[in-house]
Amino acid sequence: MRIIAGKHKGATLDFPREKITRPLKDRARESIFNLLTHSNKISFQFENSNILDLYAGTGSFGLECLSRKANSVWFVEKSEEAKKVLEKNIKKLKIKKKAFIFFEDVFYLIKKNNFKERFDLIFCDPPFKESSINKLIQQIWNIHLLQKEGILVLHRKTNTKEKFPDCFNVIDERIYGISKITFGKFSS
């Protein structure tokens, strides 16, 4: 797995030997970034943005954001092994000052709301078996974790049927193999 574009383009990322995470395929990741930056529906600017990477795994999404000049990325991961690999990737890319890791359960961390930032982009890549996505989106809305014009990107299995809370508006949805990527915003 490599960084696709930006300052660290071509840098190789480490990943765990054991299959404890489900890395986002390069094709899907590249498509997400293309849609974020080039879609008329979304038009996101990475430069100086603050990103929250939920269920970060080894950090491929957030590290790509930092390569594209994001101001900061806050990674949330509860697997000790994935966290160690994420720390190794951050050290390898020499971006420690812009990367913050929370070794915590996503729901617990959001409930505590220890964030000092409101985020421009939240990437949510839970295990495919996670069934409480509606609850998670509602919690993010309740504590105003996303900036007013911020984007939430959700990675789910293609056949997963979500009933999103009323506050969440789907902007675009794409299918890549077994992956379904949903882009959305919160209503005002």
pLDDT in tens, 105-122: 998 888 887 777 799 999
The percent of residues in the chain predicted with pLDDT above 70, rounded, is 95
Q: What is the pLDDT of residue 20?
A: 57
CATH superfamily of 40-186: Vaccinia Virus protein VP39 (3.40.50.150)
- Cα angle: 114, vertex 70, 115; to 5 degrees: 5
Q: pLDDT band at residue 150, thresholds of 50, 70 and 90? A: very high
> Residue ranges of the domains in the chain?
40-186
Q: pLDDT band at residue 161, thresholds of 50, 70 and 90? A: confident
Q: What is the pLDDT of residue 21?
A: 62
Q: What is the pLDDT of residue 30?
A: 86
For residue 28, what are the contacts with CB-CB under 8 A and spacing of at least 6? 155, 176, 177, 179, 181
pLDDT in tens, 37-63: 998 888 899 999 999 999 998 899 999
Q: How far apart are CA 78 and CA 42, in angstroms?
A: 30
The predicted model scores a pTM of 0.92
The 10 Å Cβ neighbour count of residue 40 is 5
Judge whether residue 100 has pLDDT over 90: yes
What separation, in Å, do the N-terminal and C-terminal C-alpha atoms of the chain show?
38
Q: What is the pLDDT of residue 117?
A: 79
Q: Which residue has the higher pLDDT, 114 or 163?
A: 163
Q: How far apart are CA 37 and CA 164, in angstroms?
A: 24
Q: How far apart are CA 70 and CA 176, in angstroms?
A: 25
Tokens 């990475």 found at: 46
In the chain, the amino acid numbered 117 is: E
- Mean pLDDT value across residues 99-110: 91
Tokens of 122: 């939240």
Average pLDDT, the chain: 89
For residue 93, what are the contacts with CB-CB under 8 A and spacing of at least 6? 3, 8, 11, 63, 66, 67
Tokens of 55: 């269920």
